[in-house]
A and B are shown apart, each in its own frame.
Chain A
Amino acid sequence: MDELLEKLSNARGVAGQEGEVRAILREALFEHVDELSVDSIGNLIARKKGSDTARSHRVMLAAHMDEVGGIVMRANSDGTLKFRSVGGLDPRILPGKRVRIGEEKAPGVILRAPHAARSGRRVMPISDLLIDTGGAGGIKPGDMITFESSYEEYGALLKGKSFDDRVGCYMLVELLKGAYPCELVGVFTVQEEIGLRGAGVAAYAVEPDAAVALEGTVADDLPRQQDISPTTELGKGPAISVMDRSAHADRRLVRILAETAAAHDIPWQFKQPGVGGTDVGSIHLARGGVPAVAVAVPCRYIHTPAALMDPADVKNTIRLVSNALSGPLGRPLRAEWSEE
């Protein structure tokens, strides 16, 4: 789909070690924004002035740079590593997966510890898994562990290890290339996967009037299930969150996105309410509160080495947010709280 998306997806960066992703983004952004800075916790903040200088309205768009992965706890003398997850990894999918370790990208494969393999349990907790490095030297506690998996076109879809949330980072770069009436602050956040930590301090510093988190989110549309709530479905457009575990979306912003989609013939869907959490969880509680909403690209097999997404959903999410910024999202929200 795009060279930048490929680079971002292949880049390695678990929470706390987002440097490689940040470097790619700086390179991609510097000629498109007015100001680029990195804050004390590592968030990359890109500011772009608005064309409407008569009214002050600051919109923050957030996408997180970190991906789920692991961290080395101990390097054993036999060439195996004890590790922990950084963010939510499903232990059922781990044994046999290939990983890359540390800055040198040493190869490794996840295996079951022998005592655990004898326990008769079918699913081992991560504490009973090890990584076999084949005896690679130089690996230290604290080194990050990421899935070994490359970006590729996959039928009509795209495959990558970290569309959550590099697709958000990609969309945010594309959106920052545009011109809008409002002041736009793009924040590439750190440490989302371990508790929405970067976004909270960024929102405190930025003091936005409204915020949108751009995400890659769970899709569970295959195989076809009983007629119950799908989280999201591929190809049906951007998924708008009304409520998840971290936040209730501002209803005015939900309406702005839905009406913008209708006006521009962009398909969209609700994300299944009640599941997951996004940077909105910490952004909306910053200072005296920030109206906020999350909009996401559906991804099958998220938090695995092979997330799949539909490029049409990526394009439509960019179109939706771009049109909203040029329209009602780019202007001050109506103060009254009528729900119509």
Chain B
Amino acid sequence: MRALIEELCSVFGPSGDEALIRELIGQHLTELVDEIRTDRLGNLIAVRRPTAGNGDGKRIMLAAHMDEIGVMVTHVDAQGFCRFTTIGGVSTNTLIGSRVQFANGVEGAFGMEGSPLSRERPTPQKLFLDVGAKSKEDAAVQIGDTAVFRSSFGAVGDRLFAANLDDRIGCAILIQTLRELESSPHEILAVFTVQEEVGTRGAATAGYGLEPEVVVAIDVTATGDFPEATPMEVALGKGPAIKIMDRRMIVHPKVRGWLENAAKANDIPYQLEVLEFGTTDASAVQISRAGVPAGTVSIPCRYIHTPSQVADLNDARQAVSLLAHALGGEFA
């Protein structure tokens, strides 16, 4: 599982440019599902038909987003420096000192206009990307090219460090769940979505196209377990979090109950999550067509949307166990 997370975290895929990560995930799925397709916005949809029960299972959509936050080049100046705009919720405070990588492997470092000793807060207008070019002609990138934040994948014990655990850890959990799930009465629609970070756009169209009867997103969530954190009852290492509410969704009580019962029945540790900011793909599917009962299995993650996100491998393993047990049984 750790190797799978690391592999998924190593591949390029900012919102709108998910081709490479889609290809890699597709390779992992071939032996696991009955059908794989890519829809019109680029969502990767893997379908596993029911393997148990007497046809009374549900059509259950599981969504993990492939895309990650990043930057896009808006201008290359005569000296080869790039101006940029952000993709998704990038905090300007995290930029100085970060490294980005383009699809073609070109690296970028952030610089700021003016004195290097300036104590000024960086604003996006004053920042630029140095892509190692000597001039505009020499630059290996152009307007519209995208880049992602990269820092080396690391681990201390079971604590994982990466720039994009949001949401590659969710993608890994979804793949691993399909591996471990032996039989299910449900039709499982495993969707690796695009453009979550810019407004849950891929999930909205996938939800319309698939018409699921239940949807569960697998995504990271914030924690309250570090110094002076905003109070929040979610911590690393205490198991996956079953969402109750976030900014755009109140979880359907049946979905929450189904997940909680699976955890209790199988002695899987879990936490309950109330998130005061942010949302997941489940919120877009919840209001698709005539509405879909929706829930989310969250992985506690510190420093989300920074180049050094930290999560606990055991939470991911237990999320797989929770999902596999829930999907193996009836929905009720």
Point out residues on A near B: beta carbons under 8 Å. Answer: 227-230, 242-243, 247-248, 251, 254, 270, 272-275, 284-285, 287-291, 335, 337-339
Contact = CB atoms under 8 A, between A and B. Distances in A.
A248 B79 CA distance: 28
Interface in B133-155: 143-144
Interface stretch (B2-10, B83-91, B263-271): B83-91
20 contacts: A227-B79, A228-B83, A242-B143, A243-B16, A243-B85, A248-B195, A248-B198, A248-B201, A270-B143, A270-B144, A272-B75, A272-B143, A284-B201, A287-B209, A288-B205, A288-B206, A288-B208, A289-B41, A289-B209, A338-B19
Given A243-B16, A289-B205, A227 B78 contact: yes
A339 B22 CA distance: 12
B143 A339 contact: no
A272 B19 contact: no
Given A248-B198, A339-B19, A287 B77 contact: no
B119 interface: no
B198 to A, nearest CB: 7
Interface in B1-37: 15-17, 19-20, 22
B40 interface: yes
Interface string B115-136: 0000000000100000000000
Contact of A337 (B42, B77, B201): B42
B174 to A, nearest CB: 19
A103 to B, nearest CB: 38
Interface of B: 15-17, 19-20, 22, 38-42, 72-75, 77-79, 83, 85-87, 103, 125, 143-144, 195, 198, 201-202, 204-206, 208-209
Chain B CB within 10 Å — which of A270, A284, A337 has the most?
Answer: A337
A113 B83 CA distance: 41
B204 A273 contact: no
A248 B85 CA distance: 13
Contacts of B86: 274
A285 B40 contact: no
Given A248-B16, A284-B41, A291-B40, A337 B74 contact: no
Question: Which residue among A243, A284, A285, A289 has the maximum number of chain B CB atoms within 10 Å of its CB?
Answer: A289
Nearest to A285: B204
A240 B88 CA distance: 21
B302 to A, nearest CB: 28
B209 to A, nearest CB: 4
A242 B205 contact: no
Top 6 closest pairs, chain A to chain B, by CB: A274-B85, A248-B16, A289-B205, A288-B209, A229-B75, A242-B144
A213 B267 CA distance: 54
A287 B75 contact: no
B41 A273 contact: no
Contacts of A251: 16-17
A271 to B, nearest CB: 9
Contact of A288 (B17, B40, B78): B40
Contacts of A242: 72, 143-144
Nearest to B211: A288
